[in-house]
A and B are shown apart, each in its own frame.
Chain A
Amino acid sequence: MSLSHFLAMGGYAAFVWPSYAVTLIVIVVNVLAARASHKRALEEARRRIGMQELAG
């Protein structure tokens, strides 16, 4: 089986590849967004603690 035959997906390349691309991009974006969300919460918590120590 050649690569071009594989990429052609029996004539359905225009539907198969975008569906894989969209789903895998959704997963990658989810990974980045989840890590960013945790990082943001950490920074907020650090700031809160810092302010508390200043006040105390």
Chain B
Amino acid sequence: MWTWLHKFASPPHFYRLAGQLAPWFGWTALLLIIGGLYGGLVLAPPDYQQGDAFRIIYMHAPSAWMSLFIYVVMAVSAAIGLIWRIKLAHAVAASCAPLGASFTFAALVTGALWGQPMWGTWWVWDARLTSELILLFLYLGYIALRSSIDDLQRADRASAVLAIVGVVNVPIIHYSVVWWNTLHQPATVTKMAAPSISTSMLIPLLVMMVGFNLCFVALLLVRARGEVLRRERNAGWIREATA
């Protein structure tokens, strides 16, 4: 297990493997997202309360889920990089930030587009919305901090600390709808015992979430390949990889 892990974390092996895997994840994600679009826009019936406006969930919930998931991946990789000084872990953390920021942006915009017809307002300063906005600022702060430090090793360490500290925001976002009174509706999917929507609505949502996840993995692999190249100075394998 450890030798396998060590081999996987070696930059040349990762670079090659990531290059082979990324297209598979990407094309599978595309198929799932197309299937999810068809299921969500055509097959699922309109909601009895929200009508067709509920279909925004198929974009909003997967984006919001990814915004949290990517942050956890970023913080865990940053911690691994910091503790065990693994360059690949820092490369993965650095690759997460732009992806997470963009999904957070999508979650906020689709949330506003859902809030206006349902709540009569684009935005309220309540717990769920405000903590999600803070998540966007955490991603942007992480990116700004990295770009302000020229030395890659120092940028990796400083931004890792920010990523790890910021992870406290993740449970706050997730449980905000439980801990505080908020306009935001409670979770739809995580209630495993009794999901609060019918199967014909739920299946496209799950398909879409898996699609978004695989899409993230593909994007992460492509970005991490680039970050690995940036961290590997004058190594012989780069000559072979870039030939």
Q: Which residues of A contact B (CB under 8 A)?
A: 6, 9-12, 15-16, 18-20, 22-24, 26-27, 29-31, 33-35, 37-42, 44-46, 48-49, 52
A12-B117, A49-B238 as given contacts; A41 in contact with B53, CB under 8 Å: no
Size range of the interface on B? 35 or more
Instruction: Write out the residue numbers on chain B whose beta carbons fall within 8 Å of the beta carbon of A6.
Output: 41-42
Interface status of B98 (Cβ within 8 A of chain A): yes
Are A15 and B223 within 8 A (Cβ)? no
Q: Which residues of B contact A (CB under 8 A)?
A: 26, 33, 37, 41-42, 46, 51-53, 55-56, 58-60, 63, 98-99, 102-103, 105-106, 109-110, 113-114, 116-117, 215, 219, 222-223, 225-227, 229-230, 232-234, 238-239, 242
Closest approach, in angstroms, between the C-beta of A7 and any C-beta of chain B?
10
B99 is contacted by which of A12, A30, A52 (Cβ under 8 Å)?
A: A30
Q: Whose C-beta in chain B lies nearest to the C-beta of A53?
A: B239
21 A-B pairs within 8 Å (CB atoms) are namely A6-B41, A10-B53, A11-B52, A12-B117, A15-B116, A19-B60, A19-B113, A23-B110, A30-B215, A34-B99, A34-B219, A34-B223, A41-B225, A41-B226, A41-B229, A44-B230, A45-B230, A45-B242, A46-B242, A48-B233, A49-B234
Instruction: Write out the residue numbers on chain A whose beta carbons fall within 8 Å of the beta carbon of B105.
Output: 26
Q: In terms of DSSP, what is the predominant structure of the interface of chain B? A: helix
Are B219 and A12 within 8 A (Cβ)? no
Query: Which 6 A-B residue pairs are closest in the complex by CB-CB distance?
Result: A41-B226, A10-B52, A38-B226, A23-B59, A12-B53, A19-B110
- By CB atoms of chain A within 10 A, which of B105, B113, B223, B233 has the most? B113
A15 is contacted by which of B42, B53, B103 (Cβ under 8 Å)?
A: B53
Are A9 and B226 within 8 A (Cβ)? no
- List 7 other contacts, CB 8 Å, given A11-B52, A30-B102: A12-B51, A15-B116, A19-B60, A22-B110, A27-B33, A35-B222, A46-B242
Instruction: Write out the residue numbers on chain A whose beta carbons fall within 8 Å of the beta carbon of B42.
Output: 6
Q: Whose C-beta in chain A lies nearest to the C-beta of B19?
A: A38
Instruction: Write out the residue numbers on chain A whose beta carbons fall within 8 Å of the beta carbon of B114.
Output: 15, 19
Instruction: Write out the residue numbers on chain A whose beta carbons fall within 8 Å of the beta carbon of B51.
Output: 10-12
Q: Whose C-beta in chain A lies nearest to the C-beta of B29?
A: A27
Instruction: Write out the residue numbers on chain A whose beta carbons fall within 8 Å of the beta carbon of B59.
Output: 19-20, 22-24
Are B109 and A19 within 8 A (Cβ)? yes
Are B229 and A16 within 8 A (Cβ)? no
